Amino acid sequence: MARKLFVAATGQNCGKTTISVSLMHLALKKYGRVGFIKPLGPKITTFAGREVDKDAALMAGVFGLKDDIALMSPVVLQPDSTRRVLDGEVSSAGMLDAIRRAAAALEKTCDFLIIEGSGHSGVGSIIGMSNARVAKELDAAVMIVSGGGIGNVVDSVTLNLALFQQEGVKVKLVLANKLIPEKRETSLHYLRLAFAGADFAVEGGFNYSPILANPTLARIAKILSCPLNGSPEEGQRIVHHIHLGAASAQRVVDLLESSSLLLVNSTRDELLVTLSSLYKHPEYKDKIAGLVIPGLNPVSRITQKILEGSRIPYIRTEMTNSETFSLIKDDVSKLTAEDHEKIDLIRSLADSELDFEAIDALL
């Protein structure tokens, strides 16, 4: 019988998937056979020729679990799934049965099974399959991943606990994630005081990392639906800062920070030429991650030649500067199996910042 851990969250962007990757990495050091399942998949992608949830595809890609992908993502919600369930065209009981059968099959071959929920505890309630309900059906202990802080953690955890308690599901651990490093111990101290007397433990997850939070050039190209003019290796570069190239060329250069992405309009020939020339120098190559070149007007012929000759990574879009900037800033970078630099960092951080033995002991 596999040890089962349901990874829940207080909401989106708490780092639940990053924690799941870390748990898989750490569990594989202790257990010979470790499995993963995303019972209810709200975000569709194609992997190994079938539609599955993005998080299941991520885990399968990173940990070589392609053969189990059908079991790892038993129910994928289509855009019309909610309507069809409410209209009686599709049975939620049938979906729940598919989840049970997939989990049971994985349990037979695994020593440790990671079950990743979708968003907060109530997600899926509209079709009768909230995270709390699924955790109950799979008879799994629950770990709730929250963001950092103190007051907001207590508030959000308390709200999410209510539904798990209503379903009679045992929450074993609250994992406060994305902690400010210098406030880590203080935050955990007061969180434990706030939850004193509760029948779950409080542990710390990862410290906040801008590298994990920030997008790669490849991610930005995907956000803008435009190709990246650069190598796959350059696409893995993580953008730490985003600058609008609106000032004079000298001022833009003076304001460069480490691994900066610059948005430079297609008519700013002097700035495009300056940045392309600087990219050839090691000092500036560290500062310039790449360019996004918005604008309807074409880049001039000579500037285009200089751009291509410098081999600076760039993305060309015909959107306006403001549209481009808004799309990039509004996106929250999500992990993919192709983010090799981030995956390697997660594994390294998991070894030093997560106490897997403490988590495992609670099961």
Query: What is the CATH classification number for the domain harbouring 251?
Result: 3.40.1390.20
Does 1 score more than 80 pLDDT? no
> Structural domain tally of the chain?
2
Are 99 and 74 in contact by the 8 Å Cβ rule? The answer is yes
Residue with more model confidence, 210 or 337 = 337
CB-based burial label for 19 (10 Å; 0-12, 13-18, 19+): buried
Residues 120, 47: one domain?
yes
Residues 287, 350: one domain?
no
Per residue, the 3-state secondary structure of 189-207, as one string, reads: HHHHHHCCCCCCEEEECCE
Its domain, for residue 179, covers 3-208+336-361
CA 39 – CA 71 distance, rounded (Å):
9
Residue pLDDT, tens place only, 257-287: 999 999 999 999 999 999 999 999 988 999 9
Query: What is the CATH classification number for the domain harbouring 81?
Result: 3.40.50.300
Residues 175, 296: one domain?
no
Report the pLDDT averaged over residues 83-108. 92
Helices 301-310 and 269-278: crossing angle in degrees, nearest 10, is: 20
Residue pLDDT, tens place only, 230-265: 888 889 898 989 999 888 999 999 999 999 999 999
Are 290 and 265 in contact by the 8 Å Cβ rule? The answer is no
CA 205 – CA 51 distance, rounded (Å):
31
Residues 259, 180: one domain?
no
Question: Residue 339 has what pLDDT?
Answer: 83
Six-digit token string for 60: 């399968």
Residues 62, 192: one domain?
yes
Does 107 score more than 80 pLDDT? yes
Residues 85, 200: one domain?
yes
Residues 185, 254: one domain?
no
Residues 36, 168: one domain?
yes
Residues 50, 67: one domain?
yes
Are 22 and 58 in contact by the 8 Å Cβ rule? The answer is no
CA 299 – CA 270 distance, rounded (Å):
11
Six-digit token string for 250: 């000298």
Report the pLDDT averaged over residues 196-211. 89
Residues 357, 231: one domain?
no
Residues 27, 153: one domain?
yes
Residues 189, 225: one domain?
no
